[in-house]
Amino acid sequence: GESVGLHLPTLSVQEGDNSIINCAYSNSASDYFIWYKQESGKGPQFIIDIRSNMDKRQGQRVTVLLNKTVKHLSLQIAATQPGDSAVYFCAEEAGNQFYFGTGTSLTVIP
C-alpha cells in the first residue's frame, strides 16, 4: 500500500477484475480525504472524496473506504478497464494543511 513517503507501489490487475489501492495517512487531525487519478502528461484528476464523519462512499464503479482507527484509506475500482491505468494519489486535508501521497501505479492487463 501507499503512504505519504517516497516510493511508488505498483499494482497490476486483469481487465474486468476489481482493484484495491491502499493509502496510510499520518495526520489524525485530517478530516477530508480525496482520491485523484493522474494519467501520463496530465494533472491529477478528482475521482472521489470522503469526509471524516463517514466510513464509506460510493461513486460510479469506485468506492472509498475510510478507517480512522488505523488511519487507512482505500480506493476500490470495480470491473477495472484499460482506461483505469494511471497513477492514483490519496490526499488528506487538516484545516489549511494539505498532504499528498506519492501514488500507486495501476496497470490493467487486457
Partner 1 sequence: DAGVIQSPRHEVTEMGQEVTLRCKPISGHDYLFWYRQTMMRGLELLIYFNNNVPIDDSGMPEDRFSAKMPNASFSTLKIQPSEPRDSAVYFCASREDSSNQPQHFGDGTRLSIL
Site track 75-94 with partner 1 (rule: CB under 8 A), x = hit: --------------x-x-x-
DSSP states of 34-83: EEEEE-TTS--EEEEEEETT-SEEE-SSEEEEEETTTTEEEEEESS--GG
Query: What's the one-letter identity of residue 5?
Result: G
CB of 74 to partner 1, least distance (A): 18
CB of 46 to partner 1, least distance (A): 4
Interface with partner 1 (CB under 8 A)? 6, 8, 31-32, 34, 36, 41-46, 49, 51, 89, 91, 93, 96, 98, 100-103
